[in-house]
Amino acid sequence: MRTRLAIGAILLLAVIVPANAETDWSAVGKALGRSGAQAAGGVYRVGLSRSDLKVNLDGVQLKPALALGSWLAFKPMADRDTMMMGDLVLTQPEVNPVMTKLLKSGIEVTALHNHLLRSEPATMYMHVFGHGDPIKLATALHAALLESGTPLSDTPASAPSATIDLDTSIIDRTLGHKGKVTGGVYQISISRADKRSALSYPYDTEPSASHTRVLNEVDRDPNLFGGSAHSDN
């Protein structure tokens, strides 16, 4: 009887341990072509700035960090499954080739819309969703992103100034959240406190995976616009 119990315990551990084993995010980053960082709740998040684009809005060239930031987030689930969500910034000619690659690989396109009116060139924002093996997901995303001009190199660009000509303390006090300067833009990330269920997926999602509002503030010529520019992604 004891022998049977011991064997049963060993078999149970053999099933549990692989399911709970940590995901090798370095391998995921390698497959995607760009490494990311771990966020709250075990989420692995990758930022993909469209620094290759020179987008102008009403005569002003937009900083990529203000409104041209793609991102992908991965969250381990049960049975070694991983959920992926993201938002890809694309030019209009890039939309169909990227979407075709994604759909052929089984990744869903859940929305396609724009955040910017009157911008040149026009940019679209494609929301994506998938689940399965994280490396396979990253490989499929890499293949799709190759249909765009999205930079996929980890080579660091020249470091921008850590300060901007903007009184961020007023923003912090008003919103009750502090932000940081990224790429010449003051960014504030505010996650939902409650968990939300992903569409067609039987698991709750961490706020850091998809339900985070990013507020961007950048100083600009008051003679043109009368103050700072604001965008939210």
**17 falls within a domain:** no
Q: Is residue 3 situated within a structural domain?
A: no
Residue 13 lies in a domain: no
User: Considering the entire predicted model, what is its pTM?
Assistant: 0.73
Over range 107-111, report the average pLDDT.
97
Contact criterion met (CB below 8 Å) for 50 and 87: no
Q: Could you tell me which residue, 206 or 36, shows the higher pLDDT?
A: 36
Q: What is the pLDDT of residue 7?
A: 47
For residues 222 and 114, the model is more confident at 114
Looking at the domain assignment, is residue 2 inside a domain? no
In a domain, 200, yes or no: yes
pLDDT classification of 22: cutoffs 50, 70, 90: confident
pLDDT band with cut points at 50, 70 and 90 for residue 5: very low
Give the pLDDT confidence of 115-131 residue by residue, as tens digits: 999 999 999 999 999 99
Within a domain: 15: no
In this predicted structure, what is the pLDDT of residue 188?
A: 86
Rg of the chain in Å (alpha carbons): 21
| Structural domain range at position 88 | 22-232
pLDDT for residue 206? 52
Give me the number of domains the chain comprises.
Answer: 1
- Dmax of the chain from CA atoms? 85
3-state SS assignment for residue 35: coil
Residue 158 lies in a domain: yes
Are 47 and 64 spatial neighbours (Cβ–Cβ below 8 Å)? no
- Residue 150: pLDDT band (50, 70, 90) is very high
Asked if pLDDT for residue 79 goes beyond 90, the answer is no
* DSSP element (H, E) containing 219: none
100 part of a folded domain: yes
Query: Which is nearest to 129 in space by CA: 109, 114, 143?
Result: 109
